Chains A and B, each alone.
Chain A
Amino acid sequence: MTTETSMLDKFEEKIRKEIKIEPRDWMPEKYRKTLVRQISQHAHSEIVGMLPEGNWITRAPSMRRKVALLAKVQDEAGHGLYLYSAAETLGTTRKEMTDDLHTGKAKYSSIFNYPSLTWADIGAIGWLVDGAAIMNQVMLCRTSYGPYARAMVRICKEESFHQRQGYEIMLTLARGSEEQKAMAQDALNRWWWPSLMMFGPPDHESKHTAQSMAWKIKRKTNDELRQQFVDATVPQAKLIGLKIPDSDLKWNEEKGSYDFGEIDWDEFWNVVKGNGPCNKERLNARVKASEKGQWVREAAAAFAEKQNQRKAKKEQVA
């Protein structure tokens, strides 16, 4: 037996026994690559995801809403950081990852390429987009790679307030004036289908799913998570008197879950390819932020260098 195959055996045995893989453990190159791609995409999504909501911080309707939204957007920055750090344990660098984002080589969740047009969108995003993200992230708390799983546990603890603040906004609007209710319904109409697309292509078309399931990177398939999301969300919409924009949606007694309509996958792929309503705007915002921050990064590095030299000199004298 060559060492390569005995390493692979050991690795697979660990996966089988639910023993987490840690950064310095041997792992197949493809496992490493898959994780770097997935974790860095996830990190980019947290960071780009700050943009549609950040857009509303200065226009939040009350101080209570404003502090909540600010705290939520701050959390997303933290989530980005936890995830970049997890990816870095696999041998990539922060710079490589951000460069890949800025050149368009790396993807992020397509949901953030839709505009946040009204205040109700902030409600819909928290309720639906964070809700969908939570389904995925709860599953990832059991992922086979240690640092990724630990980042997810931390993130999940923080996420639950995000969804609650979003749902509370929707609830308040839905119980408000006719205009407010219409605004909430309109936001739901626009965010519903893109939220379902967040779980990714259907299982039979998803090229990564089978291998990711075998390696226990993912523990549930795209379609399983999507179904779980629909089943959890439909009653929540009913409770606040909003209508899910899907005429095919109906309870299926036999399978004990909802049947729902066909997702427009052409729209999905079109947005993935860069032709969504805000792809250019989002990417430009990230590139501009990085360019504008360059002098700050350089100044901080120069300052740290100077401090180090001073300290070294002092130690010499002493």
Chain B
Amino acid sequence: MDKEKDWPLWEIFIRSRAGLNHKHVGSLHAADADMAIENARDVYTRRNEGISIWVVESKHITASNPEDSESLFEPADNKIYRHPTFYNLPDEVKHM
């Protein structure tokens, strides 16, 4: 029993209906990608929650480091001119 290792971990992404993005819903263990899709069907779409499934082995995901998040996202912080409210227009212009 001890030599036995867990099957690899997979991250599961589900498209809930046509027109929407696939969204991360959780993870599960499976021996291979086909099994990951079948298991994802059984555990994450028992009540019609999805019409399409993506599976990605967890080890293939590279994530940003939360400790760097300040410096990583800081450049977007001080660019208010990227937002529509930065521009002053006369009230007569109703929708723009």
Determine which of B6, B28, B35, B63 lies in contact with A93 in the assembled complex, contact meaning CB atoms within 8 Å: B6
A-B contacts, 6 of them at CB < 8 A, read A22-B66, A24-B63, A82-B43, A151-B26, A300-B32, A303-B31
Residues of the B chain whose Cβ atoms lie less than 8 Å from the Cβ of A24? 63, 65-66
Residues of the A chain whose Cβ atoms lie less than 8 Å from the Cβ of B35? 300, 304
Chain A residues in contact with chain B, CB under 8 A? 22, 24-26, 74-75, 77-78, 81-82, 85, 88, 93-95, 150-151, 154, 158, 291, 294, 297-298, 300-301, 303-304, 307-308
- B5 interface residue, CB < 8 Å from A? yes
Name the residue among B6, B42, B47 with the largest chain A CB count within 10 angstroms. B6
The CA-CA distance from A301 to B6 in the complex, in Å, is 9
Closest to A290 in B: B1
Closest to A298 in B: B4
Closest to A157 in B: B47
4 new A-B contacts, CB < 8 A, other than A78-B42, A82-B43, A304-B35, are A74-B46, A94-B6, A300-B31, A308-B32
The CA-CA distance from A78 to B46 in the complex, in Å, is 9
Q: How would residues 36 to 62 of chain B score, 1 for a CB under 8 Å from any chain A CB and 0 otherwise?
A: 000000110011000000000000000
A208 to chain B, nearest CB (A): 26
Q: Are B9 and A75 in contact (CB under 8 A)?
A: no
The CA-CA distance from A25 to B28 in the complex, in Å, is 22
Residues of the B chain whose Cβ atoms lie less than 8 Å from the Cβ of A303? 31-32
Residues of the B chain whose Cβ atoms lie less than 8 Å from the Cβ of A294? 1, 4
- B29 interface residue, CB < 8 Å from A? yes
The CA-CA distance from A78 to B43 in the complex, in Å, is 5
B33 to chain A, nearest CB (A): 9
Name the residue among B1, B7, B26 with the largest chain A CB count within 10 angstroms. B26
Q: Are B27 and A307 in contact (CB under 8 A)?
A: no
